[in-house]
């Protein structure tokens, strides 16, 4: 069974079509699937929209509301904590990733020893979001210095995980906002799990909640604080390569 989490913050205007598109693809999941919508302390009508979606699909949609805005990482963790599936995933509420890629992520996750399949916005497979290009390039350099994730694009909001690998880590994750992906992937690699990157189609959507300067600075700060805390002393990790190549996923 797949549990797919969509973290939502002030997404009342565009959440309904995104959720319906997700449900259309999840309905084809042979082993069953559930959609978990998590309201991350929204100040608009997002919770009302979530509840309307849940009432219209009570057998397939679950909902959760955080009292305050804690960040995307905290919202995803909260969704994972109540998920019932043996596979866990999350997708962004703006619908940037093509849902057709969900099956390819699942195909990669079914490979031996793989604990996570990560969507990657790779050249030739994606329509890049212009306002995130510089932010993404700089952040990837920081990630390469501070973490070992096994993939080149840690911030694509389209990922699947084996629940058995992720659930033991939930209480140990510390980053609440956008850099949480890096911490989770690094911890999986530390424990010997394989991670594979899968090219996905990515289209620009207006109304992004990401503010490149503010959020970029916060992401870098969060990563440095994560690496220098006493329980995680700073160390530059030895480079590792994933055993899978992009060409494996035409």
CATH code of residue 171: 3.90.550.10
Instruction: Give dist(CA 31, CA 24) in Å, integer.
Output: 15
Residue 250 in domain: no
Query: What are the C-alpha distances in Å from 15 to residues 48, 52, 81, 96, 186?
Result: 11, 11, 22, 12, 30
What is residue 236's DSSP assignment? P
Residue 124 in domain: yes
pTM: 0.84
pLDDT for res 139 = 74
Residue 30 in domain: yes
Strands 61-66 and 87-91: unpaired
Residue 134 in domain: yes
Residue 209 in domain: yes
pLDDT for res 235 = 44
pLDDT for res 38 = 98
Residue 243 in domain: no
Instruction: Give dist(CA 50, CA 89) in Å, integer.
Output: 18
Residue numbers of the domain that contains 10: 2-234
pLDDT for res 129 = 53
pLDDT for res 237 = 44
The pLDDT averaged over each successive group of 10 residues in the chain (250 residues) is 97 96 92 96 97 95 96 96 97 90 94 94 54 66 83 90 96 91 94 93 66 69 78 44 36
Residue 245 in domain: no
Residue 214 in domain: yes
| Tally of domains in the chain | 1
Residues 6+ apart with CB under 8 A from 193: 113, 114, 115, 116, 165
């Amino acid at each position: 069974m797949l549990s797919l989490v969509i973290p939502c913050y002030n997404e009342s205007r565009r959440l309904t079509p995104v959720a319906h598109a997700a449900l259309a693809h999840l309905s084809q999941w042979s082993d069953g699937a559930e959609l978990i919508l998590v309201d991350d302390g929204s100040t608009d009508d997002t919770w009302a929209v979530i509840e309307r979606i849940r009432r219209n699909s009570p057998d397939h949609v679950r909902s959760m509301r955080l009292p305050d805005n804690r960040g995307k990482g905290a919202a995803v963790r909260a969704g994972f904590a109540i998920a019932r599936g043996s596979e866990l995933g999350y997708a962004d509420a703006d619908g940037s990733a093509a849902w057709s890629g969900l099956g390819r992520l699942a195909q990669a996750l079914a490979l031996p020893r793989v604990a996570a399949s990560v969507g990657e916005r790779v050249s030739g497979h994606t329509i890049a979001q212009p306002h995130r290009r510089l932010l993404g390039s700089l952040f990837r350099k920081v990630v390469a210095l501070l973490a070992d994730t096994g993939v080149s694009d840690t911030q694509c909001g389209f990922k699947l995980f084996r629940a058995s690998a992720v659930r033991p880590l939930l209480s140990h994750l510390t980053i609440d906002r956008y850099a949480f992906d890096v911490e989770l992937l690094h911890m999986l690699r530390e424990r010997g799990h394989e991670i594979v990157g899968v090219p996905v189609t990515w289209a620009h959507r207006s109304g992004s909640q990401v503010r490149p300067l503010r959020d970029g600075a916060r992401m870098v700060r969060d990563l440095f604080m994560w690496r220098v805390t006493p329980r995680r002393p700073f160390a530059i990790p030895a480079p590792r390569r994933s055993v899978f190549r992009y060409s494996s996923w035409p």
